Structure 1
Amino acid sequence: MVAPPFSLHELHTNKVVSLADFKGKPVMLTFFASWCPDSMKDLHQKNQMFETMDKDKLHFLTVNVTGREGKADDGPRFIKEQNYQFPVLLDEGTKTYDAYRCMGVPTTVLLNEKQEIIATYNDKSSFIDIMKGVSHLV
Structure 2
Amino acid sequence: MNAPNFELFDLKSHQEVKLTDFRGLPVMITFWVSWCPDCQRDLPLKTQFYQSLDKSELGFLTINVTGREHAEKDGPRFAEEHDLPFPILIDNGTEVYDAYECSGVPTTIIMDKDHRITHQFGDKASFYDVLEALSHVTK
> Match for residue 112 of structure 2?
112
Compute the displacement of 1:87 (Å): 0.3
Counterparts of 2:60 and 2:41, CA distance in 1: 16
Counterparts of 2:98 and 2:53, CA distance in 1: 29
Alpha-carbon deviations, 1:53-108, whole Å to 9, x = none?
A: 11111111000000000111100000000111100000000000000000000000
> Match for residue 42 of structure 1?
42
> Match for residue 80 of structure 1?
80
> Match for residue 127 of structure 2?
127
Q: Which amino acid aligns with 1:75?
A: G
Compute the displacement of 1:14 (Å): 1.8
Compute the displacement of 1:21 (Å): 0.6
CA-atom RMSD, angstroms? 0.6
Counterparts of 2:5 and 2:55, CA distance in 1: 21
Q: Are 2:17 and 1:13 equivalent residues in the alignment?
A: no
Counterparts of 1:54 and 1:21, CA distance in 2: 16
Percent identity, aligned pairs only, is 49
The number of residue pairs the alignment matches comes to: 138
> Match for residue 53 of structure 1?
53
Compute the displacement of 1:13 (Å): 2.0
TM-score by length of 2: 0.98
Compute the displacement of 1:36 (Å): 0.2
Unaligned runs of at least 5 residues, structure 2:
none
> Match for residue 64 of structure 1?
64
Q: Which amino acid aligns with 1:131?
A: L
Once superposed, which parts of structure 1, at least 4 consecutive aligned residues long, lie more than 4 Å away? Answer: none
Counterparts of 2:129 and 2:47, CA distance in 1: 17
Unaligned runs of at least 5 residues, structure 1:
none
TM-score by length of 1: 0.98
- Secondary structure of the structure 2 residue equivalent to 1:42: helix
Compute the displacement of 1:12 (Å): 1.4
